[in-house]
Structure 1
């Protein structure tokens, strides 16, 4: 996943994503390459074309904060994308390692949540823990283990997600954000490596280099048993465990989805009762 000119790769990908009309330049008709030309970025950022070319080619390794901020403005980078540009351009070292173990207190909190799906994911989007409602929500997948693998490698995802393209794009942008925070994380590298080999769709989205941490959004699911679900998603960082986020889904009160969540809860309770009969929990063990 790491290379010798990641800054150049990032600049080229983000430059290709900006249309000339987006920044007030006249539409000159078809271009040989998508997005802005290097001389246009240089002009708008207030630097020489030669200097910008050396940045993209990796021959200039020490840009100033002023230069990076000018480029970020020209390429219309948001806060997360700008922060990633600064990490690359200023050689800022990210967090050394992401946490892989979920605290017992958090497990206990989620286990007590009976009305909403809740789960914890790690930096590589591995599902580290989930309550009964979350497991029931994702029951149609072959494995409920890694959100990226589920989206790109499990055929059920195409039916489950109301807008698969959007779900895939958001998931990849979120993984990019994690890889920016944890550039040496071996688990992230393994996930990227596997998906790059097995999923052309992932490879194409990864090459776009969109850095977008997922914090909240509205989701549309098609559950095989309870039907359509339109849920609001919130993701909260676990400050005591770097890289971990606890995620919750909720429904608008009185909506059809709220009724569907009640049915989903009944199904999860039935499944939990069946599991307890075949494999009783010992005292103090969490259902997660």
Structure 2
């Protein structure tokens, strides 16, 4: 089944007939959720048209039809955009992500007291400041492991770092799934997904759910070996002129236990900041 078809099937399965005002009729259903003919009727299209769409044969499908299907399946804004991307794939989207960040952005990182790091395509960690290094230990990782997805699913220390590992794992997969649709011709991303699928049964299970989510803001609970639990909020920003990069900032409420522990953790890092800066600017390994 096509990526589009699997996504629609997964979303159909989570909608019960009663959710959209359809009677149950007492018949046993062979599949969970809505049937394809029910989606078609509610979206105002023929059953044959919807079946062709779900089979990936709906070439030239209109935005209006996609929006009608999204409404029936109760897709959120990110899922709706993902549906449009899958149904009308972008062309010639692949651009190699820069392996270095510009000097001005490097200075911004080093001037910030909060932990902050830069992600490129495939969730590669391209740069970080001293506070982020103190929290996550990027400089201690082999270059190949400076990737948030590999770190979560394939590195032993990754699982120990996240007490809420299942939530972190699920979120990581949804970010990658969204990028995989936006950049379907990216060989590095395809290779990373193949590597994670082969190396982690959990990743394979989560990938098959076709969940998508933008990396914007949220909460990140970490268990640091020196200071214990760190309960951060995080904000994700796109640097101007760098659409392929994400600036991730961990935040702590002033006066909170996390703020105090972060201060203790970073108290001795000022002298190490130049070394962290130099290491962070080095190119990361290309996912194999």
Q: Which moved more, 1:120-129 or 1:181-190?
A: 181-190
Cα distance change, pair 29–124 in 1 and its aligned pair in 2 (3 A): farther
Q: Give the equivalent residue in structure 2 for 1:244.
A: 245
Match in the other structure for 1:50: 48
Query: Aligned ranges for residues 193-208 of structure 1 at < 5 Å?
Result: 193-208=194-209
What is the match of residue 263 of structure 2? 262
Could you tell me the TM-score, scaled by structure 1's length?
0.86
What 5-or-longer segments of structure 1 have no aligned partner? none
Shift of the alpha carbon at 1:245?
0.3
TM-score, with normalisation over the residues of structure 2? 0.86
Give RMSD over aligned pairs.
2.5
CA distance in structure 2 between the aligned counterparts of 1:185 and 1:167, rounded to whole angstroms? 24
Q: Which residue of 1 aligns with 2:286?
A: none
Structure 2: state its 5+ residue gaps.
281-288
Indicate the residue corresponding to 1:175 in structure 2. 176
Q: Secondary structure at the match of 2:121?
A: coil
Deviates more, 1:213-222 or 1:150-159: 150-159
User: Any residues of structure 2 matched to 1:32-71 within 5 Å, and which?
Assistant: 32-71=30-69
Tell me the alpha carbon deviations over residues 172-205 of structure 1, each in whole angstroms, 9 at most, x when there is no partner. 1111222233222222112111001111111111
The 5 Å alignment of 1:215-230 reads 215-230=216-231
- 1:10 CA displacement: 2.3
SS at match of 2:236: strand
User: Which moved further from structure 2: 58-67 or 201-210?
Assistant: 58-67
* In 2: Cα distance, 1:29 partner to 1:224 partner: 55
1:14 maps to what in 2?
A: 11
C-alpha change, 1:269 and 1:7, in structure 2 (3 Å) is: same
The residue that corresponds to 2:101 in the other structure is 102
User: What is the alpha-carbon distance in structure 2 between the residues aligned to residue 257 and residue 52 of structure 1?
Assistant: 51
Shift of 1:18: 3.1
